[in-house]
Structure formats: structure tokens, C-alpha cells
Amino acid sequence: MSNSSRKGQLELGINRSPEKDRNFHLGGRSFYFFDFDDNIAFLTTPLILFHKTDRHEVKISSGDFAQYHQSIGKSGPYADYDLDFCDMTGTFRNFRDHHIEDIEKLQGKKQIFVQDVAEALGFPDFQWKGPSWECFYHATFNQRPLSVITARGHHPETLKDGIRVFVQNKLLPLEPNYLSVYPVSHKETRALLGDAELKEGTAELKQRAIRASVETAIETYGYNPHHRFGMSDDDPKNIQLIAEEMTRLKARFPEMSFFLIETQHGNFVKHEIKLGGLRGEKVENLSQLSFFEEDRQKS
């Protein structure tokens, strides 16, 4: 990445002063939950579809997969293709960790996710920064407790290794204050979420991860009616089930605030979860540095 690209992000950090949580004076904390792909960043990691007859492979982006995955094999542009769920050779093989020999580690070989993050930084900012990047930067800069909840199947430490590349390249000022990391296709993580038999879908597992993260937040930082929680995602099915889970959490913790941010198709739509339903507004992603701290002082 060019020095000029890095300089712009560094200047943004230099001109900022750390800010307290919106409800800090009341003892409340702001918790940020992020999907990674097409939210924090756009990576070139491809998914692989297999033709039904001759099994030839077609690569598609995570954005296209989010848009078409419910119709793959049934209708639309990928009606003649199937998914393959083998972690080593199938559709999601690039979204899983692979064994790296010790000698390869000494030679600097990294997991695919870490490589893909590093490769993305060779492109201009507007190509790799996702619609929630500024929110992610804001949360990291101010050390808000944050969770990464992603459909990827890497080990949680691999996700942290990839995010550390942003720090090493001066695009983040320091490492995030992790509340939790849930790659919900990672087998050990699925077991931790109560899906040891590997029967649940991604959206359902994200629901469980959100619930577990809220419970961890309260366990770690104490119960406070002024806590605020926000989650961003781009997949329509995930968004629907995230809204359902946050509605249940709102009923369980009615004094706390819950927000859902849709980032599909380049939009940035913020919904507040109310006991009587959703309240939504479309906002400009480039100026939306915070999920839900509306009265924060912008630098």
C-alpha cells in the first residue's frame, strides 16, 4: 500500500481524541458486533460452485453468494450448480484453515485469511474498505468491547491474526478490545455454541453467537440498563434472524438498547430494535462512524 494511503488513515487517528461511551456517565457500555466479509472489509476470497453434470468449478465472490445462495441449484444464474460441503475440497475450502507444516511456518507461510487481508491492502482504500470499516475503526480506536461474528470457519486466532495485519500496516491504531470471536463454521466454535452435531445453519449459529456475546458482555462488564449493542451484517437471511434474536434479547433486557445495521448492496440502514418492532433509517456510510452513538462529537 502506498504511503499516501496509509497517511490519510494515520492523520484521521492523530486528529481524534478517545471518546467515552455515550452512556458512560450512567455506567453503560457500547458493544459492537461485526460480520467481517463485505462489512469490515471486502476480500477476494472466492467460494467455489460445482456444475451438476461435469463438476467443473466456478468461483463467486462472498457478495454474490450472499445474494444468490438461497437459489443456487434451483433457479437464477447458478441453477446448474451445487454446493460441496467438504472443508478441504468443497465450496468453502478457502474459508477454512489448512494444516501448515512447521517448516512452512518458519518460511513465513500464513493461513489463507491472513494472506487475503494482506493482499487486499494492496488495492486502493475504496476497493477493500467495507461499509462498516469506519465503525470498526471507531470501536477499535476507542477500545469499545467488540465481537467478530462471521460465517467463516477459521480458528478464532486466525481471525485475530488477519485483523492484526491492519494494525501492522498502520490502518488501525491498536488491536481491538475483543469481547468474543465467533467464526460459526469452525467446528469447535459450533460445539461451543451447542451445535456439536453440526446441524444448524449459519444464520441460526449467528443468533446463538449474538446471544452468547450479550451474555458475555453482561458477565464481564456487569448488568446495566444503559448498555447498547449493535450488529452489522449484509446477508438478507442473516439480517432477518439477527433481528429476531435481538427482539428476543430486547424482551429479556428491555432497558438496554439494540441496533441492527444492514450493509447489503452498498447501503447502510440502521434499525433500532423496539419492543413493538423495528425502526429504521438509511444513512450515509462514509459519515456514519458509530453504529448508535448519535450524539458523539465527530472529529
Q: In angstroms, what CA-CA distances link 150 with 117, 145, 175, 176, 201?
A: 15, 17, 18, 16, 12
Asked if pLDDT for residue 48 goes beyond 80, the answer is yes
Please state whether beta strands 81-82 and 47-51 pair in parallel, antiparallel, or not at all (unpaired).
antiparallel
| Per-residue pLDDT at 264 | 73
Could you tell me which of 140, 125, 150 has the C-alpha nearest to residue 232?
Answer: 150
Confidence of residue 287 (pLDDT cuts 50, 70, 90): very low
Higher-scoring residue by pLDDT: 4, 233 = 233
Confidence of residue 67 (pLDDT cuts 50, 70, 90): confident
| Per-residue pLDDT at 4 | 40
Confidence of residue 291 (pLDDT cuts 50, 70, 90): low
| Per-residue pLDDT at 70 | 87
Asked if pLDDT for residue 6 goes beyond 50, the answer is no
